[in-house]
Structure 1
Amino acid sequence: MKHKVVILEPIHKDGVELLKKYCDVIECREGVSREELKNIIQDANIIISRGFIKIDAEIIRNARKAKAIVVHGVGIDHIDLKAANEAGIKVVNTPEALTDTVAEFTIGTLIALLRKIKQADEAVRRGEWNRKYTDLVGVDLKGKNVGILGLGRIGLAVAKRLKPFDVNLYYYDKIRKYDVEENLGIRYLDFKELISTSDIILIHLPLTEETYHIISRREFELMKNGVYIVNTGRGALIDEAELIKQIETGKVAGAALDVFEREPLPQESPLTKYENVLLTPHLAASSIEALKRLSMDVAKKTLEILGIPIS
């Protein structure tokens, strides 16, 4: 009898096809109900997750035969890790495949934010050409103090890509990277000093109990007036209600947000009304190449856990 693999959210066909050579694969339909999901996973040996469906203790209790939850990507904050551990279910992520893709996206959204590219595009479409002389004038990246919160794989990849822009690079991380400081010319600052020094803050931290709302009222008070913020990490790293207040006052000159406290972002969210806020639907890792790599990494790790050699 073949092992059963349940894929909770769509992944690229390359990974699915590899899995189907060796396993029985169930792909959940979009909008699958909680009750359906609990039934589907009862005899699953592996659960593959993209992170959009929360895997809580109740879901885990229903996965009685599961050996592992394999995550398509980096974040595992949507999984009740304590419940998984108690159930003897391994949680495995696939961070390597998306590092460069998210780094490129971060640089792209940062430049779009500073140079008001979204607003300029909309202005041209509305026939407002002469706004180029007024409110569509942006700011340079060159010479800015750029602070990176979290110098893991993605944060480091972003730092390397920023170096040619002639910026002043700073970072905060729980673990100092002395070799990176020397090789890249990036300077370590403690958390408070980084957020008070930076003209631009890029957030690349994992979401944990410790980092939940790591940016809130007190942190905004420490920031420079007119700070720019880019978050491609997790939405709940920023206190969203407080961010909205700071955008209203002008303390935050602009924000590029790929992640939100609640996803999908509700259409009635105040964030949707600001021209100086660039919103994207959690797709920093969504390039054709990255999705292929992620699906194959997920498939290979699944087969490795099941002890199935790839022929």
Structure 2
Amino acid sequence: MSHPYVIVSAPVPEDLRTSIEANFNIVDVPVGKRLEDALDSDRLQEIAGIVCTVRTKLDEGVMASMPKLRVISNFAVGFDNVDVAAANARNILVCNTPRVLDSAVADLVFGMIIILGRDMLNGDTYVRDGTWASKGAPALTRDIRGKTLGLLGMGRIGRVVAKTAKAFDMNVIYHNRNRCSDAESEGLAEYRDREALLAEADFLSIHVPLTDATRNSIGERELKIMKSSAYLINTSRGAVVDEQALVEALKSGEIAGAGLDVMVKEPLPAESPLCSMRNVVLQAHVGSGTVETRRAMIDLATRNLIDALTNKQPEAMVNPQVWGSKAE
């Protein structure tokens, strides 16, 4: 009996490729390339599973071209590249890689908080370009300890950020669709309604998924509510923030600065006004970008793929009801 075919469109190390090849025939597709462009119709009709990054778009049309498809395993926590409703309708399991990257993203959040709050980006230039030697000590910055960190979203990553903030003696407040009574009872954070969160935060860190409800949900109105001394940190998805409204708020001084690991268009074009702003810290969507974390993510994505196709319940499922229906 021939092995089923699976698409690999993610950076899978050789030892994990060997694990896949033990049970399946691998069809390699370059990361981010459209599957319908990379493979002909006959090959697509043979595909039983996919391990891919969020750069692979999987909509109803693509799924329709793969009648044998049983599982999509995303090498990411996010899954906005997948039409989950279409997957549900076709009984296709969608998997992702939560938990293993929480600490790495939280570390990046705090790196940006420190760089912004202490103006380290400009401080570095001040030394390198000789200004320190010619003009003496730079302007004073502000303490981070004692400031208020607002978390928009209190999921797994938000909780790690909240725990880290306590080590910096920060006051932590949060807003979430559902109140997190356990986080409150543990003293991690105090609940605020959305407008109060925006108004009180010295640093606002966004931790919500990209959905129709959250797209552009931080826009001109929300930015006007924030303090003029406040900083916005986004490590979720770029389109959660109205990027043009953010640019205008940064130019006008409505907020003090921003730290962005995600943008609406990635890679961010060099001509973007964000690239020339000295009150903005930019990163190349590297929240999970450590050797250890990326390895843990691809381990999990590979296990999810193999488990789903060998009738073992995967560890991380976006739509577990599909697995439940298969098990019945």
Q: Does 1:87 align with 2:90?
A: yes
* Range with greater deviation from structure 2 (24-33 or 274-283): 24-33
On the 8 A contact 2:34/2:57 being kept in 1, the answer is no
Query: Who is 1:172 aligned against?
Result: 175
* Range with greater deviation from structure 2 (295-304 or 108-117): 108-117
Structure 2 counterpart of 1:27, one-letter code:
D
RMSD of equivalent CA atoms: 2.0
Query: Who is 2:320 aligned against?
Result: none
Query: Who is 1:133 aligned against?
Result: 137
Query: Who is 2:207 aligned against?
Result: 204
* Range with greater deviation from structure 2 (27-36 or 210-219): 27-36
Give the Cα–Cα distance (whole angstroms) in 2 for the partners of residues 230 and 159 of structure 1: 14
Query: Who is 1:27 aligned against?
Result: 28
Query: Who is 2:118 aligned against?
Result: 115
Structure 2 counterpart of 1:126, one-letter code:
D
Displacement after TM superposition at 1:55 (Å): 2.0
Match of residue 101, structure 1, among 95, 101, 104: 104
Q: What's the TM-score, normalizing by structure 2?
A: 0.88
Query: Who is 1:16 aligned against?
Result: 17
SS of aligned partner of 1:10: coil
Match of residue 192, structure 1, among 192, 195, 217: 195
Give the Cα–Cα distance (whole angstroms) in 1 for the partners of residues 230 and 59 of structure 2: 37
Query: Who is 1:288 aligned against?
Result: 291
CA deviations over 1:172-201 (Å, ceiling 9, x no partner): 111111121121341000111100111110
Q: Does 1:258 align with 2:261?
A: yes
On the 8 A contact 2:163/2:188 being kept in 1, the answer is no
Displacement after TM superposition at 1:14 (Å): 4.6
On the 8 A contact 2:34/2:56 being kept in 1, the answer is no
CA deviations over 1:252-280 (Å, ceiling 9, x no partner): 21111011111121221111110111111
Give the Cα–Cα distance (whole angstroms) in 1 for the partners of residues 199 and 260 of structure 2: 20
Give the gaps of 5 or more residues in structure 2.
313-328
Give the Cα–Cα distance (whole angstroms) in 2 for the partners of residues 45 and 287 of structure 1: 30
Query: Who is 2:308 aligned against?
Result: 305
On the 8 A contact 1:14/1:292 being kept in 2, the answer is no
On the 8 A contact 1:7/1:47 being kept in 2, the answer is yes
Query: Who is 1:2 aligned against?
Result: 3
Structure 1 counterpart of 2:206, one-letter code:
I
Give the Cα–Cα distance (whole angstroms) in 2 for the partners of residues 69 and 13 of structure 1: 20
Q: 1:128 to 1:22 in 2, by over 3 A?
A: farther
On the 8 A contact 1:38/1:63 being kept in 2, the answer is no
**How many residues are paired up?**
308
